Structure 1
C-alpha cells in the first residue's frame, strides 16, 4: 500500500547535537552509570527563593485562564522594568511575552523572512538556528569565526562578502552560545553599520545578557544604537538562563518597529498564549540584577575549574569564554560525533562517564567542527573537575583504540 510522503521540511529537519544522544545517555543510566551532563545548558542551581515562593502561591489558584496573547500585564511590566535597569527605555506595547526564547527566535525569524530568504549568522552558532530556519524554509548563511581571535568578529569585508539580495537579517547571539564570546561595543556598532548599509534587520539573541566574566560588559543593541536604527532591531530574551529556570518556558521579544509588532501579534494570536502560571511566578524576579551577578561569579569558578583540569590532563589549550556558560573545545580526535556516542555506549570509569555535544552540529559549513565539542559548565566546581578528568581519560582510551585499529589495518 502506498502512503503519502512527509514534507521536504520534515525530511530536512536537522537533529539537535545537544539532545540527539539522549537515548544513549538513558541507556547508560539504566546500566548504573553516572552521566555528567555537559551537553546541555541546564544549570544545577536551585530555583531562586523569590520564584519558589511565587510557585507555592500559584499552587492555591482555583482558576487558570488563558493569558493574553501578548502576555499578562505583570510580566510585561517586569520586562519593562528590567530593560530600564539595563539602559533601554520601552513602552509596554513594545514587549511581547513568548513561550521561551526559542519561540521568540522562531517568531522573529518568521516576521522577517519568506521561503528562500537568507539570515546571516556567525559560526559556530546555537544549533537550533538551523532547525528554526528549516521550519520556515529559510537559509542560514554562516560567517566563520576564528578560535585564535577568541571567536570575535572577522573583518568587515568578510561579513559583507556573504550578503546577497535574498539576505533579510543578521542574527547575533551576545554573549555567545556556543563560544562564550562577549562581543564588544565596537563589534556591535559594526554590525549596526552593515545592517544599515544593506537595509537588514538585526535579530539580537540576548538570552545570556549579564552573565560575563573578567570585567567584560554585555551591551544590548538597543542600548547603543542610534534612534533611527531602533526600527531594524528585534531583541529576543528569556528567563531560562538568567534566573536558572529552564523549565519555566517564558521569553520575550522586544521591538520598536510597529510593522514587526503587528505581525508578531498575529502570530501570537494564532498560538493563543504563553503559559499563565509561569508568567506569574517569574514576574517578580525578572528585574533582579543581583542574582545575575551572583550567577556570573559562580560560572566563572566552574569555567576555571573545568578548563584548568582538562588543559592539564590533555596538555591542550582551550578557549577561555568571556560570558554565558559554554566553550568550544578542540580535541585530538577526528570525529567527535562518534566519540560522544562512544562515551555513552562503550566507556565508563568507576561507573561514570560524560555527555558532551558534538561540535559539527553548531556549524552550517560541511566538515566543520568534527574535531570539536561544546561543553556547558553547568555543574558545581567539584563535578566539573571530576567530569574533566573522566572526559580526558575517555579521550586517551578512545585514541588508543583508534590507534590499535589503524595499526592492524596497516599491517
Structure 2
C-alpha cells in the first residue's frame, strides 16, 4: 500500500449498524468515503443481548482492520422492548389517572379481534388494578379546569406509590393533551418523593385525544423504560470498553433514528425498531435500482416480515398493537388483540416463521411449523448446542440444501 493510500485509509470514517434478532445478531460496517461494506453475523445471546451486540462489533472492526476512533456513529435496531412486553417481563409499574377512571386499563376497548371467537381472552393489563390510583381533578375537552387538582388527594397517592415497591409510573389524565398542567404537577410531586422511579406523563409521550390509547402508550413507555435504559447503558459501556466513543443511535419504529439517551427516556418509539429497519433498507435499495414500488420480505431465524413500499416510501401508520396475535389488515401487526400504541410505525405484517421455526404435529395429526422457534439457545439440532426439536434449518440440511 502506498503512502497516499495509507493516508486515505487512516482518514476514512465508518458507520456501524447492528440488528439483534431472536436467532442471529447481524452487524454491518460501511466506509463513508468509499461505500465499501463489511458484514458480520454471530449468534444472539438471549440471556444478555449486549454480549451478542459487542461480539458483532468486535468482529466487524477486526475483519476490516478499522481503528475504533474512526467510527462516526453506531446505529442499533432491537426488539428488546417488544420481547419484554410479549414475555411479560416489564418493570413493576403504577398508573395514575383522573378520579373515576381507575379501571381504564381493565375496561380497555370493546373491539374484538375475532368477533365470533367465544374463547378469546384479551391480554391482562400491564398494570394490575392494585397499582392503579386516582387523583381528584378534572379538565374538560377545551382544556378548562373543572375540578382543581386536590393536594391532599395527590399526597395520598404519592405516599401509596412510595410503599408499593415500583420502578416506574405512568400518568394519564383526561384531556391532558389540551392542558398538561395537572399531569406535570403530579409528575413533579412523584419525582420529588421517588427520585429513582421513572415517570412518564401522557401529554409528553403522546399528546392526543382518546384517553385509553394515550394511557396504553404511556404505560408501555413506563413499563419498558427501566429495561431499555439498563440495556442501552450496558451497550454504551461495552462500546466504550472497545474504544468506540462515537454516538449510539437507536432505530425508531417509524424508520428514523434517535439518540440512545432519548430512547432510554421514551422507549415506546422503538418498540418495533427491528422490523422497521428492514423495510427502510428495502425502500432505499429499490430506489437505487430504479424500482420505487416493491414488496420487502425480511426472514430471519424466528419471524418473517413483509411490507409494501410505494413510491420509494414504506407506509407509516399509528394504528397498531403489540403483544397480541399477528393479523393482517389495517395497522401494523393487526388491530385489537394486544396493547395499542399510538406512535408512528412502519406498516407491515409479521408471522412466526423463520429458519429456526420448530416443526411439530398437532392434536389432529397434521404437520405444523412455528410460531415457536429454537432461537439461538439452544438453536436447531444441527448446531450441536443441545437442541432436540427439528427446525426448518435441520430439514434443509437433511435434504442437502445446506452444506
Which range, TM-score by smaller chain?
under 0.3
TM-score (norm 1): 0.26
Q: For the pair shown, which has the larger CA radius of gyration, 1 or 2?
A: 2
Q: Which has more strand, going by share of residues?
A: 2
TM-score (norm 2): 0.27
Give the structure, 1 or 2, with the largest relative contact order (CA under 8 Å, sep 6 or more).
Answer: 1
